[in-house]
Copies of this chain bind each other. A is one copy, B any other.
């Protein structure tokens, strides 16, 4: 079904480059997905403020996008949470969105590497608020193993496989140094984990069928440096005021 569209040009049968890393077989476009997470946050805020209806103009402004794409994104979702002449049903849409994103299912998450970053994530409220249940913490430093972080004991990386099995871990966050990342990734995959969020600054190799995403902090810093350097007015935030017609 999705094994590499054989669009190669005839010869060169052994080239084996990733044809489209970051691509997806079907489903919502990646760009839409990234925005959906923002919409969900905006909806939660609106819900907290007691609003039960949001028109696309306001909604879009709060999310930092324009309203056309917001409407298009939401239309891709299916479901019927917008009412013409009125706006979107906050509660219903939030629920629908969360379900679509897979946040209504329990994810049992292991954090591999309990340095500052790993501990930061372990304590991150956003985790458990969205159906991510912290199931295990690992570290390879014997000085750290056994400590309790966020009411979970840090387990030895040596016991990775068995602990993963014990706790039914189905998602892993890797917050370990770059050089260790590939080995750990291999072990996670061998242990049956098919969803990995990687904070290590390396391009991981993983077999087809394993979902790997990467958060790269120095990438963001470098791109920021580029814009700063160029003196280009990049904006990821919403311009605060725009005094034009």
Chain A contact residues, CB within 8 Å of chain B: 2-4, 6, 13, 15-28, 30, 33-34, 36-38, 40-42, 57, 60-67, 100-103, 105, 107, 115-117, 119-121, 123-124, 126-127, 130-132, 170-171, 173, 185, 194-198, 201-230, 232-242, 244-245
On whether the beta carbons of B195 and A228 are closer than 8 Å, the reply is yes
Q: A19 to nearest B CB, angstroms?
A: 6
Quick one: copies of this chain in the complex? 2
Q: A168 to nearest B CB, angstroms?
A: 14
Chain B residues whose CB sits within 8 angstroms of the CB of A13 once the complex forms = 245
Given contacts A203-B62, A233-B209, A233-B211, contact A6 B224 (CB under 8 A): no
Q: A3 to nearest B CB, angstroms?
A: 6
Q: A100 to nearest B CB, angstroms?
A: 7
- Alpha-carbon distance A65/B198, docked complex (angstroms): 17
Contact of A126 among B124, B127, B201, B245 (CB under 8 A): B201
On whether the beta carbons of B67 and A17 are closer than 8 Å, the reply is yes
- Alpha-carbon distance A17/B65, docked complex (angstroms): 7
On whether the beta carbons of A208 and B222 are closer than 8 Å, the reply is no
Chain B residues whose CB sits within 8 angstroms of the CB of A62 once the complex forms = 203
Chain B residues whose CB sits within 8 angstroms of the CB of A245 once the complex forms = 6, 13
